Structure 1
Amino acid sequence: MTKPRLTFEEHDEFGGRLAAVREELRILSLHLSNAYPRSGPESVPAKKIEEARRTLGEALDSLETCLYDEHPRQASTDVYSRGRR
């Protein structure tokens, strides 16, 4: 049985929501980097948050590929990557 895919509208909503999460992670990582040393044990939280942001970016890239495969006529890089940085 094939699972249902996201509609274009759902992709668009996910893109916006995930872009907001990615931006929040960027802000938190920056804030921690400015509050604690950038090396040693105290740097771990900021580095982990930045790692999570990068991993989220990879997921967004994969979702963009799904978007283009599923909705080629409506797809745009504005949904996941270029328009929502």
Structure 2
Amino acid sequence: MTEAYLCPKCKTNRTRFHQISQDAIPVKLDPRNGEIIETYNEQQLTPIHMHYNGPTIRIQCGACGLNEAEDTFIAFAKNSPLS
């Protein structure tokens, strides 16, 4: 289902957005230099490595650059009259 967006920051943009797909990749880093030591899949995570529970898509306003969860833009559009 498609939903209308409205930017909550600039409050005028209803048409120009970037849809950003997020693909979380669990990794283990070397604490000294930040290099990736190991990558995991969701089934291999250790008890101290939480599963990613954030949004799979984020939206960026094409006018002002605000980057938020998609629900933020949808809720603002629903609560604002179309002008």
Q: TM-score range by the shorter chain?
A: 0.3 to 0.5
Greater Rg, structure 1 or structure 2?
A: 2
TM-score by length of 2: 0.37
Higher strand share: 2
